[in-house]
């Protein structure tokens, strides 16, 4: 991943919000992300797929639910950029995450 690729991946508002939530809370179920962002599941899944294609997130399936987290193989410099974005992005995005939503139970 290059700095340009990282910037392109994070340039979309929804993708940046997803990365901020995963950096803050760790592994999250798609249903938690849909609830926090108040967006259709198809929209969230499309953006998660793009983030996976960029190498920023990884996923695992548990039954019918898919859980996402920041990729373990992400370069240190990319993680440092995400960390720098956390404070201003968190202030901008006031998404409330309700962990353990009924859909994942």
Q: Domain limits at 29?
A: 3-71+81-88
Q: What confidence score (pLDDT) does residue 77 get?
A: 95
Query: Is 105:36 a contact under the CB 8 Å cutoff?
Result: no
Let me know if residue 61 belongs to a domain: yes
Residue 98's pLDDT is 58
Q: Tell me the CATH number at 52.
A: 1.10.10.10
How many domains would you assign to the chain?
1
**Residue 7 belongs to a domain:** yes
Does the residue 76 lie in any domain? no
* 98 inside domain: no
Position 100 in a domain: no
As to burial, measured by CB atoms within 10 angstroms (0-12 exposed, 13-18 middle, 19+ buried), residue 3 is exposed
Residue 105 falls within a domain, yes or no?
no
Rounded Cα distance between 23 and 21, Å, is 5
Least confident of 20-24, 45-49, 91-95: 91-95
pTM: 0.85
Is position 95 within any domain? Answer: no
The residue among 19 and 94 whose pLDDT is bigger is 19
Q: Do the beta carbons of residue 67 and residue 29 sit within 8 Å?
A: yes
In 17-93, which ranges are E strands? Answer: 28-29, 57-62, 65-70
End-to-end CA distance of the chain: 35
Q: In this structure, is residue 104 part of a structural domain? A: no
pLDDT in tens, 54-103: 999 999 998 888 999 999 999 999 999 999 888 777 766 665 555 555 56
Cβ atoms 14, 50 nearer than 8 A: no
Stronger pLDDT, 88 or 23, i.e. the higher one: 23
Q: Give the model's pLDDT for residue 86.
A: 84
pLDDT higher at 25 or 95? 25
What does the pLDDT read at residue 64?
87
């Amino acid at each position: 991943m290059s700095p340009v690729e990282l910037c392109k991946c994070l340039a979309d508002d929804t993708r940046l919000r997803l990365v901020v939530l995963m950096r803050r809370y760790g592994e999250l179920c798609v249903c938690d992300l849909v609830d926090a962002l108040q967006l259709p599941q198809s929209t969230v899944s499309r953006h998660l797929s793009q983030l996976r294609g960029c190498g920023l997130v990884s996923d695992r399936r548990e039954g019918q639910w898919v859980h996402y987290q920041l990729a373990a193989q992400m370069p240190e410099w990319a993680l440092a950029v995400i960390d720098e974005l956390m404070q201003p992005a968190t202030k901008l995005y006031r998404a409330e995450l309700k962990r353990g939503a009924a859909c994942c139970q």
